[in-house]
Structure 1
Amino acid sequence: MESYKCCLCFTRKFLWSEAQPPADVRAAFDAHSEGGTQMTADQFRRFLAEAQGDAAVADVERVMEQALELRHRQLFHRKHFKPVFTLDDFHHYLFSEELNPPLRSQVHQDMTAPLSHYYIYTGHNSYLTGNQLSSDCSDVPIIKALQNGVRVIELDMWPNATKDNIDILHGRTLTSPVELIKCLRSIKEYAFSASPYPVIITLEDHLTPDLQAKVAEMVIETFGDMLYYPDSESPKEFLSPEALKKRIIISTKPPKEYLEAKNVKENDGDTKKVQESNEAWGMEVPDLQTELECSDKDEDAVDDGGDDDVDDDDQKVRQSSPLEYKRLITIRAGKPKGHITEALKVDQEKVRRLSLSEQELAKAAASYGLLG
């Protein structure tokens, strides 16, 4: 016996349901249609003048015709009868971006309070053209962000392939880099294209001290007088957006957990606390290859008759905070350029973040004795 599969076709149709007019729209319609079910051109003209403050609309009937054509997708023939709005037509007009667009961008708040009192339109990985794993890095997304009113631009800084310049890219991914200087110049050109209020550049630092000093020189030479220099290292409050118009602010610092851990002395009782605090914010360490090389060198040093009382700290990967770029914005632009490099050079090593996958890999390597 042959078996057959039966295919059922569903022919039930569902009607498109528009959102119901809210109470305030109903109230406005009732008030200006004088309690009727339709709003005439004269009543609509009175609504525009009284409720929206727009008495300059000359051809009200044509506006109503356009609204009806857009909603019903058919031409409105004014020769036969005058246009009228139902409640749904009126609702559609009010929320039509084409016919009744939002108010033009304008400042409607007090902008003289400290900057920290406001929400700030912030970008993240502002340089990426696509996904965070394999897309290109470019200044084009930065330009678009600034044109759309973004006020905070994030730049992830890494040494380039030859270690003599700075690239912007999403670290440890396949993203292709873009030069830092190109991003800085684009920020300068487009920073205030959409708004006169300050632009904050957040620098995520993965650089050596000499490259950090190079960044400082690039920033000062690119922005010049546009850079904001605070009067003190610890101001009581920020200046206002109004006072910071057309200014560029540099922002970067290590996580607070690291700063707290850095101040804890590594004695017998505090070592564990320091380690736990570092792990809490994902402290970065050199990759496995670097760890293996360091481990081999340490073993060779001991085998060659090195000091048996080697300090434990020398066996660990040294940690230090990134360069405090707050020193960059406290250097006055009038100082000779030679002093900039000297002032910014500090003897410290870069901090790198360890992802969860790298943590697991490191643990696995340690369990098999690969790290010495």
Structure 2
Amino acid sequence: PVKTNNKVNTQVLANSVPAAFVGQALQQGIQLPATHVLAQGMMVQKVKSPKLPNTPVKGSPVSTRYLTVAPSQPSVLWVTPSKLTAQQVAKQGNLLVAGSKQLLSTVWCGLGGQPLKEPLRYLHVSDICGLQVGVVGTRALEQARRVNRLKGLDDPRLDGKASEKLVSILYQGGAESLNVICQSTDHVNLLVQVLQQMRSVYQQAKVWVSAEALLLRYIWRDIDQDASGGSISPKEFALLLARINFHVSQPTHVYSQYQQQNGVPKQQHLTSSQIMDLLQQLKRVPPSSSGGLLRGGGGKGDKTMPTATDVIWDTHLGKDVESVSTEDFLTKFLHQAQGLTHYTLEDAQGLVATLRTMEQYSWGLETPSPEGMVTKRQLEIFLFDSLNAAYDPLALNYSEDDAGAARHSIAEYWINSSHNTYLTRDQLQSASSVQMYMNALRRGCKCLELDCWDGESVDGTNWPVIFHGHTLTSKILFRDVMLGIASFMKANPTTFPVVLSLENHCSLPFQDQMAADLQSILGDYIYIPTKQDEESLPCPQDLLGKIVIKGKRPPEKDEDDEVTEVEGDEEAKKPEEEEEPPKFSPALANMTLLHGAKYKNFDQSMALPTTHMHSIGESKIPKLLGKKKKTDNFATEWRAYNSTHMTRTYPKGARVDSSNYNPMMAWSVGSQLVALNFQ
């Protein structure tokens, strides 16, 4: 097993490569035995990604690769065409600085600068944003299939039991993925365990480093062209400024000026801590100083522009003061300026100790600031860090011990909701993909839309599909989406409830198949409604780890999501034009908590069971809110309705480019499911 040490050693000092503390924390926190299969090189089949979107991969869709995590450097996952030798593993630092850092990063030179026949590729732990296990949940995997999936056929490498050996490592915000087929489920577990531990230790360690230092660390190896590791030249400094979009007309002159002012020999390059100090000084140079000269250089460069931190410091902590005590920081800033009156002296002491450590690691300081004192530099770190988030972190406390934690009716919460979740781009001709559901779930979406239609019938088995009906968008199996959602629920067993908004266009036999797929794949994750729900909807705390179905329940005809009608709407159908109520699958209806009911007026709506809800289109929202009544207005009635019932709103059909409407009007009246395009 991999041994982990979650307690980060804050005595480690980083004074060479930016944020080296993070790498050292990983080395201390993860103890990978030399006999571990990943230390020796785990053989996998890498699924190739198509060169062009929506095109199959030519030739074999897989190639043999070896995944390696060196015990001496557990921050990097190597992806190589052959096993790394002991010499290469021992000298991975040389490999890392030999090439550009792109995602997936590619190293084209081996040890000693010799060109490689094939590139060595790697992923740094900071680039990995998620894992998907046991599911065809990326476009690359979907396009690697060599069968007609819409007929329910399984690819022997990817589907059925074979899917248990799939691991997708997501990076670049989930837009890209490394998809591999492991040799066994044991290898899957070992790979996932190590990657999760790497990410866990990294997330704990990086909080000790400021965002600016992390940015510098991310691009340091790119611009360090001579692979010196701990310093960069004047030419490399110019590249650095370009990478961070910092315009200075004479970067090499600024570099030389800093050397002169700080007694650095001209032949000696600047270290990371010196570069950080130089960048902080440049932030204070007025834009009118076109030469980008530093203070003390004469002329315009002598004048520095006060930053927001300067203004805040001078206003609340005093001018011409280099540092303040923890007590003054607590009373003058945290209490009086920030309004954090619940902070105690002990809280402030802990915060100041954290800021001191962050200052030390971010700037590479060999001599940190005095203990118990707060400097302007520490204040700036605090102001721009998540420690100073605008959202009150105490409001995120959903502990079951907290009597008020998510124990109100689910109707009293705004729910992160998506529209036509399956589409990758526009609403008319883009591809549909399970990956879009996985991306939405990873981004915190809790309401997924599924437009369900009849698909193929093969040997007596019906295969419902999801796509944007009456358009050129591609189709995916309803079953595949269920498999993707099941993998997310398995990985997140205590997640807040996920609502599946079914826009159901299926005939009765295909509805029965949908119910069978829901039951066989999601099973106990599905919340089965009770009679009590019709009087008051359940609370999120009681729905943790559950799937809630929104759809249609007999005997009432549901409004179609895309042609919602409101009272007095000139586009409303006349009674004689209405279609016959569709047939409903009893098995599917029994799983459905939220039933889409036709809107007539809010007086009637309030009398409906709380499980009945409305869907209102974007163009109808202002019309409805603009209506007046003798005693009240519709906004007040709608808000009252939403206090016990639920409303879903969605973009108008004219938004074929997957753009979004302003959600504020719908949110302002308490609409819970304000569906937005995630494309």
**TM-score when normalising by structure 1:** 0.55
Q: Which amino acid aligns with 1:125?
A: N
Q: Which amino acid aligns with 2:424?
A: T
Matched with 1:328 is 588
Separation in structure 1 between the aligned mates of residue 544 and residue 387 of structure 2, nearest angstrom: 34
C-alpha contact (below 8 Å) 1:44/1:60 kept by paired residues: no
Q: Is 2:384 the counterpart of 1:96?
A: yes
Q: Is 2:448 the counterpart of 1:138?
A: no
Matched with 2:579 is 319
- Alpha-carbon distance, 1:19 to partner: 7.9
CA spacing shift, 1:18–1:135, aligned 2, 3 Å: farther
Matched with 2:500 is 201
C-alpha contact (below 8 Å) 2:407/2:539 kept by paired residues: yes
When the two structures are aligned, how many residues end up with a matched partner? 267
- Structure 1 regions of 5+ residues with no counterpart? 1-10, 70-74, 262-272, 281-312, 333-353, 357-372
Q: Is 2:509 the counterpart of 1:210?
A: yes
C-alpha contact (below 8 Å) 2:417/2:445 kept by paired residues: yes
- Alpha-carbon distance, 1:230 to partner: 1.7
Separation in structure 2 between the aligned mates of residue 197 and residue 355 of structure 1, nearest angstrom: 30
Alignment map for 1:241-256 (pairs within 5 Å) = 241-253=540-552, 254-255=558-559
Separation in structure 1 between the aligned mates of residue 305 and residue 475 of structure 2, nearest angstrom: 48
Percent identity among equivalent residues?
A: 20
C-alpha contact (below 8 Å) 2:525/2:546 kept by paired residues: yes
C-alpha contact (below 8 Å) 1:158/1:206 kept by paired residues: yes
- Alpha-carbon distance, 1:181 to partner: 0.3
Q: Which amino acid aligns with 2:439?
A: K
Separation in structure 2 between the aligned mates of residue 76 and residue 116 of structure 1, nearest angstrom: 52
- Alpha-carbon distance, 1:129 to partner: 2.4
Q: Which amino acid aligns with 1:255?
A: E
Determine helix, strand or coil for the equivalent of 1:230: coil
Alignment map for 1:183-194 (pairs within 5 Å) = 183-191=481-489, 193=491
Separation in structure 2 between the aligned mates of residue 239 and residue 214 of structure 1, nearest angstrom: 27
Alignment map for 1:22-171 (pairs within 5 Å) = 30=316, 33=317, 35-40=318-323, 42-43=325-326, 47=330, 50=345, 53=348, 55=350, 61-65=356-360, 69=363, 78=367, 85-86=375-376, 89=377, 92-97=380-385, 103=393, 106-107=397-398, 110-160=405-455, 164-171=462-469
Matched with 1:221 is 520
Q: Is 2:525 the counterpart of 1:230?
A: no
- Alpha-carbon distance, 1:159 to partner: 2.1
Alignment map for 1:289-308 (pairs within 5 Å) = none
Q: Which amino acid aligns with 2:579?
A: Q
- Structure 2 regions of 5+ residues with no counterpart? 1-248, 250-285, 290-303, 331-342, 553-557, 593-651, 655-679
C-alpha contact (below 8 Å) 1:228/1:329 kept by paired residues: no
Separation in structure 1 between the aligned mates of residue 518 and residue 495 of structure 2, nearest angstrom: 20
Separation in structure 1 between the aligned mates of residue 559 and residue 472 of structure 2, nearest angstrom: 26
CA spacing shift, 1:55–1:130, aligned 2, 3 Å: same
Separation in structure 2 between the aligned mates of residue 184 and residue 327 of structure 1, nearest angstrom: 17
CA spacing shift, 1:17–1:115, aligned 2, 3 Å: farther
CA spacing shift, 1:210–1:60, aligned 2, 3 Å: closer
- Alpha-carbon distance, 1:222 to partner: 1.8
Higher share in strand:
2
**TM-score when normalising by structure 2:** 0.32
Separation in structure 1 between the aligned mates of residue 489 and residue 322 of structure 2, nearest angstrom: 47
Q: CA RMSD in A?
A: 4.9
> Which structure has the bigger radius of gyration?
1
Determine helix, strand or coil for the equivalent of 1:55: helix
CA spacing shift, 1:331–1:175, aligned 2, 3 Å: closer
